Amino acid sequence: GENVEQHPSTLSVQEGDSAVIKCTYSDSASNYFPWYKQELGKRPQLIIDIRSNVGEKKDQRIAVTLNKTAKHFSLHITETQPEDSAVYFCAAPSGSARQLTFGSGTQLTVLP
Amino acid sequence: GAGVSQSPSNKVTEKGKDVELRCDPISGHTALYWYRQRLGQGLEFLIYFQGNSAPDKSGLPSDRFSAERTGESVSTLTIQRTQQEDSAVYLCASSRDSATNEKLFFGSGTQLSVL
The DSSP code sequence of chain A is ----EEE-SEEEEETTS-EEEEEE---TT--EEEEEEE-TTS--EEEEEEETT-SEEEETTEEEEEETTTTEEEEEE-S--GGG-EEEEEEEEETTTTEEEE---EEEEEE-
Give the confidence band of B54 by pLDDT, cuts at 50, 70, 90.
confident
Which of the four pLDDT bands, split at 50, 70 and 90, describes residue A2? confident
- The confidence score (pLDDT) of residue A93 equals 85
- What's the pLDDT score for residue A52? 81
Q: Which residues of chain A are at the B interface, by a Cβ-Cβ cutoff of 8 Å?
A: 1, 31-32, 34, 36, 42-46, 49, 51, 89, 93, 95-105
Contact at CB, A45 and B101, closer than 8 angstroms: no
State yes or no: pLDDT of B1 exceeds 60. Answer: no
Are the C-beta atoms of residues A103 and B35 closer than 8 Å to each other? no
Q: Which residues of B touch A96 (CB under 8 A)?
A: 56
Mean pLDDT of B43-52: 89
Facing residues of B5 across strands? B24
Closest by Cβ to B43, choosing from A31, A89, A98: A89
B98 CA: distance to closest CA in chain A (Å): 6
Distance CA(B48)–CA(B36), nearest Å, equals 12
Q: What is the pLDDT of residues A85-110, one digit of tens each?
A: 999 999 998 766 577 889 999 999 99
pLDDT at A96: 63
Nearest to B98 among A49, A99, A103 (CB): A99
What is the mean pLDDT of the segment spanning B29-49?
Answer: 91
Asked if residue A24 has pLDDT above 80, the reply is: yes
User: From the CA of B67, how many Å to the nearest CA of chain A?
Assistant: 16
Q: Which pLDDT score, from 0 to 100, does residue B101 have?
A: 65
Q: What is the pLDDT of residue A98?
A: 72
Residue of B nearest to A91 (CA): B43
Average pLDDT over residues A33-61: 92
Residue B99: per-residue pLDDT = 61
Render pLDDT for A70-88 as a digit per residue (tens, 0 to 9). Answer: 999 999 999 999 999 999 9
Percent of chain B with pLDDT over 70: 95
**Residues of A in Cβ contact (< 8 Å) with B48:** 95, 97, 99
CA-based nearest residue to A106, from B43, B93, B46: B43
